[in-house]
Chain A
């Protein structure tokens, strides 16, 4: 069964810390992997897309890495800010249709 797991489920840190969010998937034959941000009660904002042939992607203070062979991805957030507080979701696809999501990491950054 194709499953996605995210660790930790919740994280509370002081402003300025560098963070690592983890995502693992059971079937390594992915097509691509996306990281999303979701604010409470809102839709999903795409943060980074990594194709199966890529090892990492960067956008501003965010860096996502992909290790297909071990079925893992990490999202690194540098110099965290209170505005980064949200739920972060990892999702994989195995073809061009559905995304399979983890249950997310709920992040709180306090001043």
Chain B
């Protein structure tokens, strides 16, 4: 069974640029959630995708957008990067067949300068 994977591991961008982060869900999981974790804080929910549709969104502006593909992998896109977007971005997958227990990937560390 393959776990949740994320790419890239680290990324450095300049304010105003755009970034795309990628996530492959655990085998058999059809739901993907994205979280932002600032240093010293708990993760904050960005949004969730289920069967390629957005299925819930946290308090993040529209410049945070996402996609889910037919194989259940997902992308997180952030436009017009700001310094405060520097954080660890975590992807989690889950399945109704597994009681919606969320399994997290290793994260992508984004630094905006």
Q: Residues of A with Cβ closer than 8 Å to B?
A: 4, 31-32, 34, 36, 41-46, 49, 51, 89, 91, 93, 95-104
Are B42 and A102 within 8 A (Cβ)?
A: yes
Are A103 and B99 within 8 A (Cβ)?
A: no
Are A98 and B90 within 8 A (Cβ)?
A: no
Contacts of A46 in B (CB 8 A): 101-104
Are B42 and A104 within 8 A (Cβ)?
A: yes
Contacts of A41 in B (CB 8 A): 88, 109
Q: What separation, in Å, do the CA atoms of A41 and B33 have in the docked complex?
A: 19
Are A98 and B104 within 8 A (Cβ)?
A: no
Are B107 and A43 within 8 A (Cβ)?
A: yes
How many A-B contacts are there with CB distance less than 8 Å?
66
Partner of B48, one of A4, A91, A98, A101: A98
A-B contact pairs, 22 of them (CB 8 A): A4-B42, A41-B88, A43-B4, A43-B90, A43-B105, A43-B107, A44-B43, A44-B92, A45-B104, A51-B99, A89-B43, A91-B42, A96-B96, A97-B45, A97-B48, A98-B45, A98-B58, A99-B33, A99-B45, A101-B43, A103-B40, A104-B42
Chain B interfacial residues counted at CB < 8 A: 30
Given contacts A97-B33, A98-B58, 20 further A-B contacts (CB under 8 A): A31-B100, A32-B101, A34-B101, A41-B109, A44-B90, A44-B104, A46-B104, A89-B43, A91-B43, A95-B56, A96-B31, A96-B96, A98-B33, A98-B48, A99-B35, A99-B43, A99-B92, A101-B42, A103-B42, A104-B42
Are B106 and A43 within 8 A (Cβ)?
A: yes
5 tightest A-B contacts by CB?
A101-B42, A97-B56, A98-B45, A44-B104, A43-B106
Are B100 and A96 within 8 A (Cβ)?
A: yes
Contacts of A97 in B (CB 8 A): 33, 45, 48, 55-56
Contacts of A96 in B (CB 8 A): 31, 94, 96, 100
